[in-house]
Amino acid sequence: MSQNTFKKKIQQGSSPKGNGKNIFTLIEEKLNVTGILGEGVPVHFAPPFFFAAFLALIYIWSNHRADNMIRKIEKMQQEVEDVRADVTTLEAEFMLSSKQSEVAKKIAPLGIVEIEEPPIKIIVD
């Protein structure tokens, strides 16, 4: 049977991983924030900061998407206006070409003439 022993005490300032480098120490070294924040980076501010940054990204994305949607809507409205103008023009041309006098002019070169007499009614007994 083995004997009970005490756990080894971890010295202040050293981490169990051995190298003592985490994201906050890297930020501290690279940005030299000791003058602004004092000793160490306050970790308890990180979650609210990241949440606010996330909300800001969502806000920016939403505005970008809305601007793109507005551009697409304006483009589609312009296309609808153009197509509506084309339809109006085509309807006017069709109405003109379907008049009796216009049809008579178009079929005259084929040798077909318009009847001058009214049609007669045939009565069957």
The DSSP H or E segment spanning 29 is: helix 23-31
Q: What percent of the chain has pLDDT over 90?
A: 44
Cα separation, 54 vs 60, whole angstroms: 10
End-to-end CA distance of the chain: give it in Å, rounded. 130
42 pLDDT more than 80:
no
Q: Examine residue 73 and state whether it is found in any structural domain, yes or no.
A: yes
- Count of C-beta atoms within a 10 Å radius of residue 103: 13
Coil, helix or strand at residue 59: helix
Number of compact structural domains in the chain: 1
Q: Which amino acid is at 23?
A: I
pTM of the model: 0.50
Question: Is residue 39 a contact partner of residue 25, using CB atoms and an 8 Å limit?
Answer: no
Q: Examine residue 91 and state whether it is found in any structural domain, yes or no.
A: yes
Q: Examine residue 5 and state whether it is found in any structural domain, yes or no.
A: no
Model confidence pLDDT, tens digit, residues 92-123: 999 998 898 888 888 889 988 888 888 899 99
Q: Examine residue 53 and state whether it is found in any structural domain, yes or no.
A: yes
